[in-house]
Amino acid sequence: MSQTAESSDPQGVVVVEEPQVVPVLNSVDDYLKFCVQYDASDLHLATASPPIWRRYGNLQPIWESNTHRALNLTPEDSKRLAYSFLGEAQIKQLETKGDLDFAYSPDFGRFRASVVQQRLGIDMAFRIINTHIRSIDELGLPDVVRTLIRYHNGLVLVTGSVGSGKSTTLAALIDAINQERQDHIITLEDPIEYVFEPKSCHVNQREVHTHTASFATALRGALREDPDVIMVGEMRDLETISLAITAAETGHLVLGTLHTGNSARTLDRVLDVFPSDQRDQIRVMVSESLRGIISQQLIPRTDGNGRAMALELLVNTPAVAATIRDGKTFMLNGIMQTGKSVGMITMDDSLRNLYTSGTISRQECESRAEDKAIMKAFFNS
């Protein structure tokens, strides 16, 4: 909550100063420029709420201090702001269907936008997309990741919760392929986030609901377009996952994402979408086509300077493949513990490394651990 500021006049009388009220800005672009300037990752403009941003993982009002505060947006404010950047067709969709998601690209940046109708009025949420594609080295990804993308077929999965940096990691992988190889890359996204300029590769980017009806439809079409590398923005249904596995088996390198927290849960999610009578066959296919799984979290740094990446990396070895074929994914954590020589690391080991180096706090380390009992024993030893 905002607080008043106090000061004293020459006679020593305390004067209570009300915080200055920040008026509603003229347009969505004004708010987005402000977020870009101060390195926020998300912006929320919601009816009956002050403007809110997410900076370094923390969601908070943009103006809420002793000196400045913002009024809640009224239904009229949010409608005016929404209509200030939507086109006629988008306004019609919002009024008839109640929601829309798309990539918004003014001349000062690129954003993933979601606009919805709710009980009180219109809500808008924006993800700020850094137009600079960060490299594998800039992200601090381990060198073994480069090995995963040098295959000419197979499946590489990048997983994590919403806002964990999956799109940024995928962009770094695609950009590395774009520089190192002479291939045809097709990306299927909802919406298109990072824009790839062709370097050594020919690159096509397709946006679901704009250029194609669904991920499955786009993936089926992509297989007829002579691709070498296919990036699937979301693998969330049986048809998309099935097509991705088939593509990986038939001579394409497929990079995809899932909203899962670690390697074992990722494989369980992939296998569980299939009917039970198909799972034996699918386990064999996945055990042969999987190249690796990158699972990640973004955690606030103790110095307040942004967030650090905790990363779990599974590399498909004969032991991993046998575990997948036998349906014993619960054994993967132990295999990763003994597979450090090939670059594997568990999420909990990554968290411990970040804590030991002073990068993240004990509270963050404990709360994000996969095995909280073992992590607690680590701190108590």
- Give the end-to-end CA distance of the chain in Å, rounded to a whole number: 40
pLDDT level of residue 17 (50, 70, 90 thresholds): low
Q: Is the pLDDT of residue 99 over 60?
A: yes
Q: What is the pLDDT of residue 341?
A: 93
**Quick one: average pLDDT of 234-241?**
93
Q: Region of 66 please: left (phi>0), alpha (psi -120 to 50) or beta.
A: alpha
Q: What is the pLDDT of residue 347?
A: 97
Structure token digits, residue 157:
């999965």
Where along the chain do its domains lie? 5-129, 136-380
pTM: 0.86
**Quick one: average pLDDT of 285-293?**
97
**Quick one: average pLDDT of 299-324?**
95
pLDDT level of residue 3 (50, 70, 90 thresholds): very low
Place of tokens 């992988």: 173
Residues 6+ positions from 252 with CB-CB distance below 8 Å = 153, 223, 227, 228, 229, 230
Q: What is the pLDDT of residue 130?
A: 81
Q: What is the pLDDT of residue 136?
A: 97
Could you give the CA distance from residue 186 to residue 232 in angstroms, rounded to a whole number?
9
pLDDT level of residue 309 (50, 70, 90 thresholds): very high
Q: What is the pLDDT of residue 90?
A: 96
Give pLDDT tens digits for 245-281. Answer: 999 999 999 999 999 999 999 999 999 999 999 999 9
Q: What is the pLDDT of residue 4?
A: 46
For 100, 137, 277, the CA distances from 237, given in Å and listed in that order, are: 21, 32, 17
Q: What is the pLDDT of residue 355?
A: 97
**In CATH terms, is domain 136-380 a member of 3.50.50.60?**
no
Q: What is the pLDDT of residue 2?
A: 39
Class of domain 5-129: alpha beta
Answer whether 350's CB lies under 8 Å from 141's CB: no
Give pLDDT tens digits for 318-357. Answer: 999 999 999 999 999 999 999 999 999 999 999 999 999 9
**Quick one: average pLDDT of 101-117?**
92
Give pLDDT tens digits for 164-201. Answer: 999 999 999 999 999 999 999 999 998 888 999 999 99
Could you give the CA distance from residue 169 to residue 296 in angstroms, rounded to a whole number?
9
Tell me which of 381 and 89 has the higher pLDDT: 89
Tell me which of 67 and 352 has the higher pLDDT: 352
- CA 252 from chain centre, in angstroms, equals 24
Phi, psi of 194 (to 5 degrees): -75, 140
**Average pLDDT score over the chain:** 92
Could you give the CA distance from residue 45 to residue 340 in angstroms, rounded to a whole number?
45
